[in-house]
């Protein structure tokens, strides 16, 4: 399929899942707007590389997803937003009774409230264009829970709820809203955790991946950023025009348990 002529705005996309999604959308012909909170030459270089590799327009816009006004400004600065991918997120692990309030506030702001602000700004743009796709990157933790991740799980459950409401409010329009719920995805951040985890548990790389990191993922394989991108491209296709208000799990069977 081709997404030529469409512009995709992907939050938190200078690395990991967000970057993987941006690349797959560019491969499908979409112009892409990358984002993160930094404003480094290398951020802009990533966008330049995507443009050169895939023959699309690509640029990087700095915006802090913890601040609602900057979330909305990102959409305005993008100039167009046919596809909105809310991917920005952070994590902190701690028991509820000692969970730092500032961490709670930051996780809710970046993982949940940012999606509200960007969606609120993007819907009028999509309506004017007569077409739109909202793809929210939730998590297996948007459908289930684990201890010590209260803020993350609350936020991701909220993202799923926001997705459903967005879908209902746009149900009679050529706009869809869906959430992708990944399990463990092999990103540079996850890859960097493997050596320390090997030392902590005195295990081989294979055993750490299978028995520690992917303990709850029945496939015992990581999802890939390319798979996340491919799922996003599908949700933007004509074949998915009647898929709205739902979740698609890319979790190796995690939520089947």
Whole-model pTM: value is 0.97
Domain assignment present for residue 102? The answer is yes
Give the integer Cα–Cα distance in Å for 96 and 200. Answer: 24
pLDDT of 46: 98
- Residue 189 pLDDT: 85
- Examine the domain organization and report whether 48 and 92 are in the same domain: yes
Give the pLDDT confidence of 88-146 residue by residue, as tens digits: 999 999 999 999 999 999 999 999 999 999 999 999 999 999 999 999 999 999 999 99
Structural domain includes residue 73:
yes
User: Token pair of 36, please?
Assistant: 């993160």
**191 and 107 co-located in one domain:** no
What percentage of the chain reaches a pLDDT higher than 90? 98
| One domain for residues 13 and 62 | yes
Domain co-membership, 108 together with 196 = no
12 and 130 part of one domain: yes
Residue 257 lies in a domain: no
199 and 133 in a single domain? The answer is no
pLDDT digits (tens, 9 = 90+) for 195-221: 999 999 999 999 999 999 999 999 999
Does some domain include residue 111? yes
My answer on whether 64 and 149 are in the same domain is: yes
Task: Please name the residue that has the structure tokens 């023959």.
Answer: 55
Q: What is the mean pLDDT of residues 157-178?
A: 98
Are residue 121 and residue 214 in the same domain, yes or no? no
Mean pLDDT confidence for 73-79: 98
Is 187 in a helix, a strand, or coil? coil
Residues 106 and 196 in one domain: no
Is 243 in the same domain as 179?
A: yes
- Catalytic residue check, 152: yes
> Range of 169's domain?
7-184+224-252
Q: Mean of the per-residue pLDDT values for the chain?
A: 97
Burial grade of 69 (CB within 10 A; 0-12, 13-18, 19 or more): exposed
In a domain, 2, yes or no: no
Cα–Cα distance for residue pair 27/130, rounded to 1 Å = 23
Verify that 120 and 203 share a domain, yes or no. Answer: no
Taking 90 as the threshold, does the pLDDT of residue 21 lie above it? yes
CATH of the domain at 239: 3.40.50.720
Question: How many domains does the structure of the chain reveal?
Answer: 2
Query: pLDDT tens digits, residue range 35-65?
Result: 999 999 999 999 999 999 999 999 999 999 9
DSSP per-residue codes, 204-220: -HHHHIIIIITTT-TT-
End-to-end alpha carbon distance in the chain? 34
pLDDT at 1 over 80: no
What's the average model confidence in pLDDT over 63-68?
98
Q: Is residue 190 part of a domain?
A: yes
Catalytic residue among 60, 148, 152, 201: 152
Query: Do 149 and 162 sit in the same domain of this protein?
Result: yes
Residue 33's pLDDT is 98
pLDDT (0 to 100) of residue 125: 98
1 in any annotated domain: no
Report the distance separating Cα 111 and Cα 108, nearest Å: 5
Segments of the chain assigned E as strands? 7-10, 31-36, 58-62, 83-86, 132-137, 175-182, 247-250
């Amino acid at each position: 399929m081709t997404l030529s002529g469409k512009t995709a705005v992907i939050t938190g996309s200078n690395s990991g899942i967000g970057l993987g999604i941006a690349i797959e959308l560019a491969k499908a012909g979409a112009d892409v707007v990358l984002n993160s909170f930094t404003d480094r030459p290398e951020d802009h270089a990533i966008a330049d590389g995507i443009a050169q590799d895939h023959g699309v327009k690509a640029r990087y816009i700095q915006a802090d997803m913890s601040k609602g006004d900057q979330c909305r400004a990102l959409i305005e600065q993008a100039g167009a937003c046919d596809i909105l991918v809310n991917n920005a997120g952070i994590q902190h692990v701690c028991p509820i009774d000692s969970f730092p309030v500032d961490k709670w506030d930051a996780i809710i702001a970046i993982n949940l409230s940012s999606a509200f602000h960007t969606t609120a700004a993007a819907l009028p743009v999509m309506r004017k264009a007569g077409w739109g796709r909202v793809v929210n990157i939730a998590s297996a933790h948007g459908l289930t829970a684990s201890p010590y991740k209260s803020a993350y799980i609350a936020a991701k459950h909220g993202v799923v709820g926001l997705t459903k409401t967005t879908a209902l409010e746009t149900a009679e329009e050529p706009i869809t809203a869906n959430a992708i719920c990944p399990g463990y995805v092999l990103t540079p951040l996850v890859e960097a955790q493997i050596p320390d985890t090997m030392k902590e548990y005195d295990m081989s790389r294979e055993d750490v991946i299978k028995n520690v990191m992917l303990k709850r993922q029945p496939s015992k394989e990581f999802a890939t950023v390319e798979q996340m991108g491919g799922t996003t491209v599908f949700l933007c296709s004509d074949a998915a025009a009647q898929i709205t208000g739902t979740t698609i799990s890319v979790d190796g069977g995690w939520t089947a348990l």
